[in-house]
Amino acid sequence: MFAITGHKEFSLTFANGNTCSVQWGPGNYGDHRNLSNFSMPKAVEVWKSGKAEIAAWDQDGVWYHFGYDDVKGWCTADQVASFIHFVATKNLTKARWAEE
């Protein structure tokens, strides 16, 4: 399943029941962290960022924990791709993501 929220986040739910969230808008841990939702350009077709925030949870709503928080910010595109693959292929309560 694909979902988009607030014009700044997408999530993917995989066959294994895990969901991965990627966010890069105002207030998220990325390039636009210090912007407010009110300053977000509404008419812009493409909202870009060099860094994004990631999170994941399983089918029971149990969030993956990075050891210090339930979200990880300032991730590159390569890290996001690696995390998406991890979430799609692993049991989140048993596996640890090897950060790139």
Predicted TM-score of the model (pTM):
0.85
- The answer to whether the beta carbons of residues 18 and 56 sit under 8 Å apart is yes
Question: Could you report the per-residue pLDDT of 61-89, keeping only the tens digit for each?
Answer: 999 999 889 999 999 999 999 999 999 99
Greatest pairwise CA separation for the chain in angstroms? 43
Map out the domains of the chain as residue ranges: 2-89
Nearest-CA neighbor of 77 among 14, 1, 24?
24
pLDDT at 4: 67
DSSP single-letter state for residue 73: E
> Between these two residues, 8 and 42, which has the higher pLDDT value?
8
63's tokens: 């969030």
Question: Could you report the per-residue pLDDT of 29-52, keeping only the tens digit for each?
Answer: 787 777 765 555 566 667 778 899
